[in-house]
Chain A
Amino acid sequence: MQQARSPILELQGITKSFGGVEALRGVDFALYAGEIHGLVGENGAGKSTLMKIIAGVHPEFSGRFLVNGQETRFRSARDAHAAGIAMVHQELSVAPDLTVAENVFLGNQPTNRLGIVQWRRMAREAGEQLARFGINVDPMSRLGDLPIGLQQLIEIARVLFSGARIVILDEPTSALSPPEVERLFTTLRRLRDEGTGIVFISHFIEDILRVSDTVTVFRNGRKVAETASAATTKGALIEAMIGRGGEVLEHSYTDDLSLPKPSDGPVVLKVDQLSLARSLQDVSFEARAGEVLGIYGFMGCGQQELSRILFGKLKPDSGALIVDGAAKSFASTAAARRAGVALVPESRRAMLFHQEPVYKNVSISILDRISALLLKPAREREIAKHQVEQLQIRPPVVALDLGMLSGGNQQKVALAKWLTYPPKLLVLCEPTRGMDVGAKNDVINIVRDLRARGLAIIVLSTEPETVLSLADRILVLKRGALVREFTNEPVSKDRLLEAA
């Protein structure tokens, strides 16, 4: 349909390798003005790499690169920015110590003739911009103090309103609640109609189909399909992505699903009237061995705080934690770990060492089980290799620095840390965020396997699908209070959304 016009951005035969790893092999890609171009593919397929090339982050690659028909080479992200290209990275790249306003204007703060930053003007304009996007925060608050989803929204807002003609969004919705995703889509459509070219990467195929005009599928560093969104289906896309039938892999959870009878295993965790200023009110529940307890709620409903309290990272104002029958008040995460509690937080950055090899990341939490005084690197690597195979982490090289893995593969490493010596209680926040459909399926299987081994597992998520695909029993958390429990009854995405 857009074939008549010429693309604003065109890449031909792009090849990029990182030493031994070939991330992209001869990829062609074109983006037109006034188009939303969806990009899907398995973890490590090369989506982020291609986008980073476009945004000038990876200046070294082979192939032709044309902007508005002109052959161009960016030497840095600054060049790309000057050419009107802006990107929201998969990893949050905000400056947590700066204010919201400074983040919105990062790099082009309004100054007066003397070069002095005009704070008042900046705060006012930032506030206006964010309000247009439906975000109401104090522009002078410190960004790092806001919940991670809000930080992500602010970063998206910054990029969308930077005036760029080409906007790249790499998994922007991973931390957003459904209404926020809706708002984002409305904004994207408006920008498209104003003539902006947008690339949108997501593992949520439904979202891609809904918002994009064109979809491109990547597999193993190659482009394997490009079609108009209207002319394809979810099943067909998944098949192109992973090369096998997709129907089995992604359920849409719009129909009722019946939860099993509750587990009668021993109570591993009892939470009694937990309260934390403005985040949690009188939260009480139990988690039993051999069950997966799902806790669903919108962003900011208190899930994050609850998970931190369970792992000893936050102290509640009042209330009790009873683990295995003994009352605990964890003074540190180390104490929680010793008591058999493990946490995978929603942000990879929070629990991974990007500059250390994969095997050190996998072994760090269990070093005391592996070695008394002296390290046993060979044993560590063996353990890591086993986990890498189990979780199909790619590339399967345990000596590689973690920072060189794709986002989804990093997430798998975060999970792998706790699997060698499983804890009694495993708390998973957004366990499948950023994972492709195949990997999500793998995680579902791993969690089921752990449940069969008698662990108590708590899954906290703002995605109804994640909770529905994993949990045996579901609690709904709303503004810090538990408002609904689904046990042994039919449940669906709509019923969850309604309760929250």
Chain B
Amino acid sequence: MASSETALAADRKARGIGPFLRSQMRNIAPFLTLIFLSLFFAFASPSFATLDNLGNILTQVSVTGIIAVGLTFVILCAEIDLSIASIANVTGIAVAYFTLQESYVNIANVPLPGAVAILLSILLCALLGLVNALGLTVIGIPSFIMTLAMMQIAAGISALLVRGQIAYKVPSLISTLGSGSIGGIPWIVIVAAIMLLAGHLVLTYTRFGRYVYMVGGNREAAEYSGLNVKLILGTVMVISAVCSGIGGMLGVAHFGSAQQNEFDTYLLDSIAAVVVGGTSLFGGRGGIGNTIVGLFVLGVLNNGLDHVNIDSFLKILIRGLILLAALVINVYAQRLREKTAD
């Protein structure tokens, strides 16, 4: 931390306060949005600013948060992963598929010991991530298209596994982490926090993390620097799939059921969290810190809208508008940054 602070200080000195603030716009704007929204809902509804409700918000954003960790890596590399929600879904379904269900559940499943079921499910999502990785790096399919195909493939596997039915049981470890709590704190919040922290540490303090930023910042330069760009991109796609898979397993435990299309809203939510937080869609800028702010913006917005009296159909529109505003800021911040660095 100290290192990046001295660098920042030197940066500020070299550039002057105005340009420095402008260059930090992508970090400042989401934070201001968060503060503004929180204050707004706090005044608008007495039930919003309570400790209980903070707990609700945290729990509500946990699954998105887990998925968004991996997606942050992908977007930092200037790629996209549209298969996150489908992979979450299929992994959640797989872990249920490998668990003994009650007799009234009409699924031809394959009951296995819990640890094996979890392991197989993780392998499954990692494998799907690997297919994304190979398509992107070896064959050269743009990630947008490759993961669009994967979205369909994963949905197809889900459909085959559950055949329109609903499964309920998951291994006990998963059901504890997904729906249990310790000392009043839901395990799922703890898991999300640990994964976000781990993602942050990897991105900030490891060599791999640096490579992710550099590949995202200028892919050609990364290649001319002798980095194995394909390996880095491939790894990032696998990380994203595994994070989605974990999110999917815990999500299934959290919702109490595993079924088709259960995670559909998480695709947009996860992308929104990352982008609203200020991570650049052009790669190389942002990070888990931004994603956390983005998660809170989304969480506060979704939760807050439930506390005020608004037409529930209007809510969808409001969310869309906020997302649009965030995108505008994202692109605008990039331009400012390019200008100051010229």
Contacts and interface: CB of A to CB of B under 8 A. Distances in A.
Interface of A: 18-21, 57, 311, 313, 332-334, 336-338, 342-343, 345, 349-357, 360, 364-365, 367-368, 371-375, 377-378, 381, 397, 399-401, 403-404, 417
Interface in B199-228: 205-207, 209-211, 213-214, 217-218, 220-228
A356 B227 CA distance: 16
B229 to A, nearest CB: 8
Label chain B's interface by main secondary structure.
Answer: helix
A349 B227 CA distance: 16
Interface in B219-257: 220-231
Contacts of B213: 356
Nearest to B23: A401
Given A367-B207, A400-B10, A401-B11, A378 B3 contact: yes
A313 B223 contact: yes
Given A374-B205, A375-B206, A397 B225 contact: no
Given A19-B19, A357-B7, A400-B10, A334 B226 contact: yes
B285 interface: yes
B14 A397 contact: yes
Contacts of A343: 224
Contacts of B22: none
Interface in B1-47: 3-4, 6-7, 10-11, 13-16, 19
A355 B341 contact: yes
B214 A18 contact: no
16 contacts: A19-B13, A20-B14, A311-B224, A333-B224, A334-B226, A334-B228, A336-B226, A342-B226, A350-B224, A351-B221, A352-B221, A374-B205, A375-B205, A375-B210, A378-B3, A397-B10
Contacts of B7: 357, 377, 399
Contact of A333 (B226, B337, B342): B226
A353 B217 contact: yes
B304 interface: no
Contacts of A332: 223, 228-230
Contacts of B3: 377-378, 381
B226 A354 contact: no
A327 to B, nearest CB: 20
Contact of B6 (A356, A364, A367, A399): A399
B223 A374 contact: no
Nearest to B222: A364
B202 to A, nearest CB: 10
A57 to B, nearest CB: 7
B70 interface: no
B221 A374 contact: no
A367 B210 contact: yes
Given A19-B14, A332-B230, A353-B214, A403 B341 contact: yes
B171 interface: no
B225 A365 contact: yes
B284 interface: yes
Contacts of A356: 213-214, 217
A21 B14 contact: yes
B220 A350 contact: yes
A381 B10 CA distance: 13
A331 to B, nearest CB: 9
Contact of A20 (B13, B210, B218): B13
A67 B221 CA distance: 40
A18 B217 contact: no
B223 A19 contact: no
Of the listed residues B10, B209, B213, B224, the one surrounded by the most CB atoms of chain A closer than 10 A to its CB is B224
B337 A353 contact: no
Nearest first, the 9 closest Cβ-Cβ pairs linking A and B are A337-B226, A403-B341, A334-B228, A399-B10, A377-B3, A351-B224, A19-B16, A19-B15, A399-B7
A353 B218 contact: yes
B224 A313 contact: yes
A345 B7 CA distance: 28
B214 A364 contact: yes
A132 B224 CA distance: 36
Contacts of A372: 207
A365 B14 contact: no
Contacts of B225: 333, 351, 364-365, 417
B321 to A, nearest CB: 30
